[in-house]
Structure formats: structure tokens, C-alpha cells
Amino acid sequence: MTQPKASQKTSPQIPPKVTGLAHLFAAARYSLGGFQRLIAEAAARQELAIGGAAIILLWVLGAPGMQIGAFSILFLLLLAIEALNTAIEVLTDLVSPEWSQQAKHAKDLGSLAVALLIGANTACFAIILLSLLN
């Protein structure tokens, strides 16, 4: 059997499917891998820093737990949408490495989803701050 040349790519082996408790641990590893990929994105790191600081500020200012909880849920949703946006970008670059209008639309729509949720987070944070000032 001959070895593939350095210029030839070999396909990675598809891992066997796991079930039961092993699947739970595998899913946790996949999620951790996704989080590691997500924080490689500057936008996600910025959102994580600002959102984390906002939660701490709400706690320091004495916001009720329900308000902090609601903001935290909205913030986690922002990170989830950022992860989906990153996945869209990765897949778009894979299937359309050259520029195309459809690829641009896909990336723009993912970016819009993130921007809308940033707006929702900002509005929620402002509403909570205003309620604390009254």
C-alpha cells in the first residue's frame, strides 16, 4: 500500500456514533468545541465582555434577580445567535469560496440577526437601568 503524497488530502475518519451516557459526554465535548471556536471571533469576545460587565453592573446596582435573570437569558440568546451567525459564515465560505451575491446575502442576514439581538439587549439593559433610577 502506498502512502498518499503530501499534496494529496486524506479524508478524516468519521467517528463512530455513540449512544446513551457516552452521547451526553460527546455532546458536551462538541459544545465546548463550539464555544472555543466562537470565542476565536472578536465580535463574540466583545459581546461576552460587555454582556458580562452589564450583568455584574446590574448586580452591583441592586437590580432585582428577575431583571438580572431576564437580561442574562437575553444575553445567552445573543451568544447563541452569534454562534449561528459564525456557523453560517464558515459554511458560506466553504461552499462559496469566491464572492457571490447569495453568499453576501447569507452573511448579511446572519449579521442582521446579531445586530437585532444586540439592540434588544441594549434596550433591556436601558429599561432595567431606568427602573433602578426611579
pLDDT per residue as tens digits for the range 4-14: 555 556 678 88
Residue 38 · residue 79 · CB < 8 Å: yes
- Please tell me which residue in 41, 47, 82, 98 is annotated as part of the active site: 82
Percent with pLDDT over 70 in the chain:
93
Q: Could you tell me if residue 119 is inside a domain?
A: yes
Q: What is the pLDDT of residue 1?
A: 52
Instruction: Pick the closest to residue 75 from 44, 108, 106 (CA basis).
Output: 44
98 a catalytic residue: no
Domain CATH number, residue 129? 1.10.287.3610
Percent with pLDDT over 90 in the chain:
85
Q: Could you tell me if residue 49 is inside a domain?
A: yes
Q: Could you tell me if residue 24 is inside a domain?
A: no
Residue 68 · residue 55 · CB < 8 Å: yes
Q: How confident is the model at residue 134 (pLDDT cuts 50, 70, 90)?
A: confident
Q: Counting beta carbons within 10 angstroms of the beta carbon of residue 54, is it exposed (0 to 12), middle (13 to 18) or buried (19 or more)?
A: buried
Amino acid identity of residue 41, one-letter, is E
Residue carrying C-alpha cell 467517528: 15
Q: Could you tell me if residue 123 is inside a domain?
A: yes
Q: What is the pLDDT of residue 11?
A: 73
**What's the pTM value of the predicted model, to 2 decimals?**
0.84
Q: What is the pLDDT of residue 12?
A: 82
The number of distinct structural domains making up the chain is: 1
Residue 111 · residue 129 · CB < 8 Å: no
Domain that holds residue 84: 42-133
Amino acid identity of residue 115, one-letter, is A
Q: Could you tell me if residue 12 is inside a domain?
A: no
Q: Could you tell me if residue 47 is inside a domain?
A: yes
Rounded-to-integer distance, Cα 60 and Cα 130, Å:
15
Q: Could you tell me if residue 92 is inside a domain?
A: yes
Q: What is the pLDDT of residue 120?
A: 98
Q: Could you tell me if residue 30 is inside a domain?
A: no
